[in-house]
């Protein structure tokens, strides 16, 4: 893969695999219009990944499949198994993006799309297929701890810092209602975390940030008024550029999925 920013990536369109067709009743299956929407969204995001240099035919994140599962959503919009455990007997595989069969489903926030869900899950799939890249200093420097730390450590640390912020405390004291205090708090929260879901842990902070990076990669300046968020977006942008250069230099050994 070349390193020039003007390189054009040509991708073969890929079909989403539909596990839901294994079920005998039509009520349990993903409808054909919904599957067409998933196909379009999947290939749209694949094209975005190609444009930033993380994917071309047979290279790097091209290995990531998307499957509509046989399971209904229990609140999740999508998921990537790092270990499948007993799900293996039903054909589930690690490192694959799964969407629940009862599409379409409700987004976490108004305005979120199916493409956003797939962008988010691609971030998790990226970690699965290249965990060594995420052990670099760039990740804890950006998100406060390692990807594998499932605790809300960065959020808790940020809350402690916020409690000692005199400007925040003075502003909060001026709020006359609990609703006003909550709105004031969220103003600070969303200057550091791109969504409230990003406060869950470092891996979800990364996945949400990566989702917004792909979506708004040509206009990241719009986030400059959110300093913590803007810093994370630019750091993810730099990490993508580093990965792209390493892929282009041939350092990535796709067969073994490791860096030489």
Question: Could you read off the pLDDT of 26-80 as tens digits, one per residue?
Answer: 444 556 567 788 889 999 999 999 999 999 888 899 999 999 887 888 777 899 9
Of the ranges 48-57, 62-71, 103-112, 231-240, which one carries the lowest mean pLDDT score? 103-112
**pLDDT beyond 60 at 3:** no
* Mode of pairing for the β-strands spanning 97-99 and 79-80: antiparallel
pLDDT for the residue numbered 258? 46
pLDDT for the residue numbered 110? 60
Q: Which helix (H) or strand (E) holds 52?
A: helix 32-52
Cα→Cα distances 113→47, 165, 223, 233, Å:
16, 36, 20, 20
**pLDDT beyond 80 at 108:** no
Mean pLDDT, range 184-206, rounded to an integer = 97
pLDDT for the residue numbered 204? 97
Mean pLDDT, range 174-180, rounded to an integer = 96
pLDDT mean across residues, the chain: 85
> Which of helix, strand or coil describes residue 230?
helix
pLDDT for the residue numbered 159? 97
Mean pLDDT highest for which of 90-99, 105-114, 146-155? Answer: 146-155
pLDDT for the residue numbered 104? 58
**pLDDT beyond 70 at 163:** yes
pLDDT for the residue numbered 86? 83
Mean pLDDT, range 146-169, rounded to an integer = 97
| Interior angle at CA 118, CA 107 and CA 108, nearest 5 | 15
Cα→Cα distances 87→77, 91, 234, Å:
18, 7, 37
**pLDDT beyond 70 at 224:** yes
Beta bridge partners of 67: 17, 98
Mean pLDDT highest for which of 26-30, 71-75, 164-168, 248-252? Answer: 164-168
**pLDDT beyond 50 at 87:** yes
Mean pLDDT, range 133-141, rounded to an integer = 97
> Which of helix, strand or coil describes residue 60?
strand
Per-residue pLDDT band at 8 (split at 50, 70, 90): very low
**pLDDT beyond 50 at 25:** no
């Amino acid at each position: 893969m070349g390193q020039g920013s003007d390189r054009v990536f040509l991708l073969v369109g890929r079909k989403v695999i539909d596990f839901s067709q294994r079920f005998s009743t039509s009520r349990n299956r993903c409808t054909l219009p919904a599957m067409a929407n998933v196909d379009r969204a999947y290939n749209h995001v694949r094209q975005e990944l190609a444009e930033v240099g993380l994917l071309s035919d047979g290279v790097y994140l091209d290995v990531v499949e998307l499957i509509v599962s046989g399971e209904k959503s229990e609140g999740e919009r999508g998921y990537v198994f790092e270990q499948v455990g007993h799900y293996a007997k039903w054909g589930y595989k690690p490192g694959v993006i799964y969407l629940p069969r009862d599409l379409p489903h409700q987004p976490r926030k108004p305005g979120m799309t199916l493409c956003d869900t797939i962008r988010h899950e691609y971030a998790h799939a990226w970690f699965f297929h290249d965990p060594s890249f995420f052990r670099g200093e760039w990740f804890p420097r950006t998100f406060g701890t390692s990807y594998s730390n499932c605790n809300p450590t960065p959020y808790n640390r940020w809350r402690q810092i916020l409690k000692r912020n005199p400007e925040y405390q003075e502003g909060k004291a001026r709020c006359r209602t609990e609703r006003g205090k909550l709105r004031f708090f969220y103003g600070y929260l969303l200057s550091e975390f791109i969504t409230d879901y990003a406060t869950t842990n470092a891996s979800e902070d990364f996945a949400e940030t990566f989702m917004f990076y792909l979506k708004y990669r040509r206009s990241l300046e719009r986030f400059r008024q959110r300093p913590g968020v803007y810093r994370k977006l630019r750091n993810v942008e730099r990490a993508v550029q580093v990965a792209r250069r390493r892929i282009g230099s041939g350092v990535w050994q796709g067969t073994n999925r490791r860096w030489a």
